Amino acid sequence: MTQTKAASTGWQRLGRRILYTSFRTHLLISALLRIALICYGQIHDSQSAVPYTDIDYKVVTDGARQVLAGDTPFARHTYRYSPIMAYLQTLNILLHPAWGKLLYATFDLLIATLIYRLVHMEIKSQYQKTVQHLLSKFNRPRESDQSLDALDERSHPENLARAAACFWLYNPLTAVISTRGSGDCFSSFFVILTIYLLLKSEHNDARSYWLIFGAGLAHGLVIHLRLYPLLFSLAYYLSLSTRLTQTPLDFLCQILRPNKQQLCLISGTLISLVAFTWTFYSMYGWEYIYEAYLYHFVRKDLRHNFSLQFLLQYLGSASSVAEPSAILKTLVLAPQFVLILYLSLSFGQFRQTLPFCIFAVAFVIVTYNSVVTSQYFIWYLAILPLCLNNFKMLSWRRCFSLLFLWLFAQALWLLPAYLLEFHTWNTFYWIGLQGAVFFASNGYILEQLLSHYGFTQFKISYRKLL
């Protein structure tokens, strides 16, 4: 019993030491860890038949080689990304093959910086509103910039922001994916930047329109890079509304009669998206439009992946059955869009709940997608740290059980996938079954997060306030 108590005390001390280490120190440690992973990847690739480097990284590098040769990046078979990605990796050819990995690892750290600043800003703002509400009850008006001394140290914005950033920095999945050369951290950075600018505009009246316009520019760029952030647009739009949307008529009025802030968001998004798209269309023509955009609507990835639809696609490719009708495709997509609409209307109308809304929408997009790989998890894992402080209704035991469920469901899928990939066993039906288990597990996890979501609560010393 004494040993158990001592071990628990030791873990608490370690946790406090990690938590109270400066954010810059955490950034430095994380940077060194990522450099070590990149170096390991170079050694691993030279000695192992199973590469550490992501296949997409090699494809984009080949696209960069085509660009340097004066050709289109789409001359490389299976290059289906924005040409920006090829331009970013041209130094893979000119300097070193690991240049792109260093670049994506840098954006990995920039995401942590944005998480830190955003969480700190929001917690401090919510604290000030809480203090003003409490003081008004005692008829004791105070300045708007309240001192944080009255806060319990566990609720201090600095500690909460640092904890949220560390959740990202020391997540092995995100660190490995970025150092393998996945560009999802690059696009996720602009998603979080959009959220940051929208929330910051609420605290800066003098520059609110410019901040919202900047958010639109970032949103247009990330839609150009990846199509999935397009589905965040409704939540962004509703978060800038001045009245609640409670009926279909209210929703119609919101769409047809946007306010000035919403117009700033729309104009920024369109300017950015059209500028990038038109520029590359003038350079590469219809091939760019098809490969970067239209292909993803007709894509059939027959390689095994986590998607619930994988087995149906695989069996359909092996039979002479005709293509699914438009009605069947609509029925498959309908639950996803209904959920996105529900989440956008429920959590997207308030800027305080906007990060959770975007997280939940991204979670639904990945879970219901026709192709799901580990890189796609970054789409919502990058946003999850922004919401951690709102899950205080979840006990530590429940948090760890949900994390274990998520990891265990993946492990169940990875076993038949490994037997298929490396031992050529016919495990397609097994993979399909485990894909259904993973889908059901994700549905349960999302339900738990939705039911346990709550606003930030503070432990405040009333004596220090009064």
pLDDT, tens digit only, all 466 positions of the chain = 455 555 456 555 656 666 678 899 999 999 999 999 999 999 999 888 778 999 899 999 999 999 999 999 999 988 999 999 999 999 999 999 999 999 999 999 999 999 999 998 988 877 776 666 656 665 665 554 455 554 555 557 788 899 999 999 999 999 999 999 999 999 999 999 999 999 999 888 788 999 999 999 999 999 999 999 999 999 999 999 888 777 788 778 888 889 999 999 999 999 999 999 999 999 999 999 998 888 877 766 667 788 888 887 777 665 545 455 556 667 778 889 999 999 999 898 888 899 999 999 999 999 998 888 888 999 999 999 999 888 878 888 899 999 999 999 999 998 988 888 878 888 888 888 999 999 999 999 999 999 988 765 555 444 444 5
Answer whether residue 82 is part of any domain: no
Q: Among 298, 319, 354, which residue terminates a domain? A: 298
C-alpha span between 444 and 338 (Å, rounded): 17
Closest CA to 125 of 148, 141, 106, 108: 148
Q: Among 249, 269, 298, which residue terminates a domain? A: 298
Distances in Å between the alpha carbon of 150 and those of 128, 141, 155?
A: 11, 16, 10
CB 101 within 8 A of CB 41: yes
Verify that 459 and 355 share a domain, yes or no. yes
Q: What is the pLDDT at residue 328? A: 60
Verify that 335 and 373 share a domain, yes or no. yes
Verify that 293 and 354 share a domain, yes or no. no
Verify that 394 and 426 share a domain, yes or no. yes
Answer whether residue 144 is part of any domain: no
Q: What is the pLDDT at residue 462? A: 45
Answer whether residue 315 is part of any domain: yes
Verify that 453 and 329 share a domain, yes or no. yes
Answer whether residue 145 is part of any domain: no
State whether residue 454 is helix, strand or coil. Answer: coil
| Structural domain containing residue 455 | 299-465
Answer whether residue 240 is part of any domain: yes
Verify that 413 and 434 share a domain, yes or no. yes
Verify that 287 and 187 share a domain, yes or no. yes
Q: Among 233, 264, 298, which residue terminates a domain? A: 298
CB 186 within 8 A of CB 225: yes
Q: What is the pLDDT at residue 144? A: 45
Verify that 394 and 246 share a domain, yes or no. no
Query: b/e per residue, 184-195, with b = 16+ CB within 10 A?
Result: bbbbbbbbbbbb
Q: What is the pLDDT at residue 243? A: 82
Q: What is the pLDDT at residue 253? A: 82
Verify that 458 and 388 share a domain, yes or no. yes
The token duo for 349 is 């109308």
Verify that 283 and 195 share a domain, yes or no. yes
Verify that 424 and 436 share a domain, yes or no. yes
Answer whether residue 230 is part of any domain: yes
Answer whether residue 76 is part of any domain: no
Answer whether residue 267 is part of any domain: yes
Verify that 387 and 348 share a domain, yes or no. yes
Q: What is the pLDDT at residue 34? A: 96
Structural domains in the chain (count)? 2
